[in-house]
Structure 1
Amino acid sequence: MGDSLRCQRHFVSLAGLFCEEEAEKIWGSQAVVSFILQRELPSESFSLVAEEDSGDLRKDGAQETLARITELVNDTLTSDGTCISRVSEEDVLTAIDSGKSEGGSNGQHWVLDPIDGTKGKHPTRNGNGMGIFGFLRGDQYAIALALLDEGKVVLGVLACPNLPLASIGGQDQHSLHNQIGCLFSAKIGEGTDMQPLDGSSPIKVHVSAIENPEEASFFESFEAAHSKHDLSSSIAKKLGVKAPPVRIDSQAKYGALSRGDGAIYLRFPHKGYREKYGIMLLDALL
């Protein structure tokens, strides 16, 4: 597992993949992560639990879509100079289908959310949607990868291409001059590191040390379908929280929490909502 964190540098180039149609970038992300993991960890048995399969890409009429995805994957894999050979369309289909593992409590399994939060909004300090301008319609999204060992999370990597390097918890952090794009990595028992997507050296980050609720800020989901804003507001009022909520969707919020942007995270999904992968990464980052 000591070699696993080598994979994190490739998430930097992966961020450049996300300017095409949503379905294409999700397939492309899953293929890229699969290629990277299998290339960097060739001596280990490989098990990947992910969201997508290649069924729709193998249908008649999908040739142009598959060709675009293959081109995007090749551009991403070769962008940092570590991969010089190009992959074929069949290679891409096989890589996507490598995510069909059932996982389980025995052995090691990678768990991937290839792109989380593509329909979310940028972080705001109020309910009016006033925040930073983003890279992709202003949305916050993340590529989330965790490693399970005998059923327990031991490693997490979270790429957040639209998350500012500066805290989103303050009142003056929505400047257009803020550098955006963060990569978080964590191993259980060793804390969390954050680095820019330009490949600069990582720094150690820490959760908020605030203990007085009156001084704390809290996070909640932007999309009302993911949370209950009225209930969150009522709880915050009873706790004495004075700051308005920071509303942000996707697992990018977990990265922001891990570096202390907020002290409280309130999540009250509506009846019928089922969490697939998101909470798993919290074990590593927080």
Structure 2
Amino acid sequence: MPDLDARLSAARLAVTDAALVCRSVQADLASVRAELKDDRSPVTVADWASQAVVVRRLYRELGEQTIVGEEDAEALRQPEQGALREHVLRAVRLVWPEAGMDEVLDAIDVAGSGARPRAEGFWTLDPIDGTKGFLRGEQYAVSLGWIEGSRPRVGALGCPNLSSDFERPFDAPDQHGIVFWAAAERGVRQAPADRPGASAESLQVEERPADDPPRVCQSVEKAHSNTGGTARLMEHLGIDRHAALDSQAKYAVVARRQADAYLRLPTRRGYSERIWDHAAGSLVASEAGCVVSDVRGRGLDFGQGRGLDANLGVICASERLHPALLEAAALLGLDREPPEA
């Protein structure tokens, strides 16, 4: 069985491959839309291509693996999708030059909706987290995590448009991007997303001054979190600075102290967050010294299947701010299930 170092190395390589593929598709949004006559087609191409190259890299480095995700290739195999298949194959061949169509489709199916978590460990993948950010040319992420028991042990988070310059606006894509990777109790490393052989650097965290007003990350898409509850919580704590961006890039932004917290409050009763939406990002943040929990202060439990069924929402914050956020959430009743719609 591969050890943690082998898994960590493979995860970095896989996510870097996927980031290169996604950047290539995003750079050609207009022509893909024109050829396929569908405004969402570029993210569809990138989603499938990203999944294929991640699976191929993990199998190449580690042998056969269990990989849990959302998408399989059933729709892509349909006879009328010939043009879409060709675009996916073209994107994949950027990092997998010898790929054939059947190989690509089979690779996509490995991480499809039929894959099930295994007690001895499994990968969970979101090949493009933040699809609307991708389509806007803004922030999105490739997220890959290795789960053992109920916790992520390895995580790689590709943020192809995130800049190392904290002053660069989130809606201004960076020409290099960043890949972050972490293993439990080993810290976080990073490298440019566009240079597979680039030297890795440890993520050096500089705590923000105590008198610097806190800054909170929120989702661009209002349906992803209880924005009204977030506004009440921020008002209660006197926080008026926030940044909106898509995807698990928010975890990276908090991890490197560009912001102090990321809040994802439940929007409806009975909803469970998906494991692939949090595995890699939560590990990167916690290994950078942040505290990640649900709104009741419980650690995220990745051992419940495909969802975080034992948790309610997510709070990721600096050690200094996290207790105040939990206290405010309880006081405002945000630690309870939302009422029936």
TM-score, reference length from structure 1 = 0.81
Deviation at 1:207, TM superposition (A): 5.8
Given the alignment of the two structures, is residue 250 of structure 1 paired with residue 250 of structure 2, yes or no? no
What secondary structure, in the 3-state scheme, does the structure 2 residue paired with 1:270 have?
coil
Cα distance, 1:219 vs structure 2: 1.1
Residue pair 2:14, 2:58 contacting (<8 A) in 1 also: no
Name the structure 1 match of 2:226.
Answer: 228
The within-5 A match list for 1:67-86 is 67-78=86-97, 86=98
Query: Which residue is 1:24 aligned to?
Result: 45
Aligned partner of 2:277 in structure 1 is 278
Asked whether the equivalents of residues 52 and 107 of structure 2 are also in contact (C-alpha less than 8 Å), the reply is: yes
Tell me the TM-score normalized by structure 2.
0.68
C-alpha deviation, 1:165, in angstroms: 1.3
Aligned to 1:128: none
Shift of 1:142: 0.5
1:136 positional shift: 5.3
Find out whether 1:6 has 2:9 as its counterpart: yes
2:107 matches 1:104: no
Matches of 1:108 and 1:67, distance apart in 2: 34
Query: CA, structure 1 residues 105+97, in 2 after alignment: closer, same or farther (shift >3 Å)?
Result: closer
| Paired amino acid for 1:267 | R
* Identical pairs, percent: 30
Shift of residue 198, structure 1, vs aligned partner: 3.6
* 1:102, distance to aligned residue in structure 2 (A): 3.5
Question: Which amino acid is 1:160 matched to?
Answer: C
Tell me: CA distance 1:187–1:37, structure 2 relative to 1, closer, same or farther (3 Å). same
Measure the CA separation in 2 of the matches of 1:104 and 1:48: 8
Structure 1: stretches of 5+ with no match in the other structure: 79-85, 121-134
Between Structure 1 and Structure 2, which shows a larger proportion of helix residues?
2
Residue 14 (structure 1) shift: 2.5
1:87 aligns with 2:80: no
Alignment of 1:200-239 (within 5 A): 200-205=198-203, 209-210=207-208, 212=210, 215-239=213-237
Change (3 A) 1:107 1:178: closer
How far apart, CA to CA, are the structure 1 residues paired with 2:47 and 2:173? 29
Cα deviation for residue 93 of structure 1 reads 1.0
Which residue in 1 is equivalent to 2:39? none
Q: Distance in 1 between matches of 2:191 and 2:209?
A: 27
Partners of 1:58 and 1:265 lie apart in 2 by 38
1:163 Cα deviation from its structure 2 partner: 1.0
C-alpha distance 37-177 of structure 1, shift in aligned 2 (>3 A): closer
Which sits farther off after the overlay, 91-100 or 175-184?
A: 175-184
The separation in 2 between residues aligned to 1:270 and 1:151, in whole angstroms, is: 24
Deviation at 1:211, TM superposition (A): 7.9
> Equivalent residues in 2 for 1:250-269 (5 A)?
250-269=247-266
Aligned to 1:15: 19
| Counterpart Cα distance in 2 of 1:94 and 1:263 | 41
d(CA) in 1 for partners of 2:232, 2:222: 15
Partners of 1:206 and 1:246 lie apart in 2 by: 22
Matching residue within 184, 191, 194 for 2:190: 194
Structure 1 partner of 2:151: 152
What's the offset of the Cα at 1:52? 1.1
After superposition, the CA RMSD in angstroms is 2.5
Q: Which amino acid counterpart does residue 60 of structure 2 have in structure 1? A: R
Summarize deviations over 1:257-286 as a string: whole Å, max 9, x none: 111111122222311554212122344112
